[in-house]
Amino acid sequence: VYTLAEQVQAGLAGLKVPLRVAVMGCVVNGPGEAREADLGVASGNGKGQIFVRGEVIKTVPESQIVETLIEEALRLAEEMGVEVDLDDDEAGGPEVVVR
C-alpha cells in the first residue's frame, strides 16, 4: 500500500489541485475511508476499487491502480478548471492519505 501511495504521490507531484487522495489497503474498512476522499482506492486480492467523490466508478487490476488514480485526478483537475503541469515539482501535489 505504501508503494502504491508513493507512486501516486510521485505521479501527481505537479498537480496544483486541492484534492484528497486515499490509498487504502483494507477491503473491509478501506471502502468507507476511500469514499470520504475526493479520489480513492480500496485495494486487496490483486485488484482495487476506484472511488471518485464517494462513488465506485470501476474496479481495476492491481497493476492499473496507479495509472487509473492519476488519470482520474487529472480529470477532476480539468473539471475544476485547473491547468495541469505534472512537470512542476514545486507544486507539491494533492494530499495522499494511506491506511
Q: What is the pLDDT of residue 90?
A: 58
Quote the CA–CA distance of 67 and 32 in Å, as a whole number. 22
Q: What is the pLDDT of residue 29?
A: 80
- The residues of the chain scoring below 70 in pLDDT are 84-93, 95-99
Task: Tell me the domains of the chain and their CATH numbers.
Answer: 2-98 (3.30.413.10)
Q: In sequence order, which residues have a C-beta less than 8 Å from that of residue 12 and are 6 or more positions away?
A: 21, 70, 73, 86, 93, 94, 96
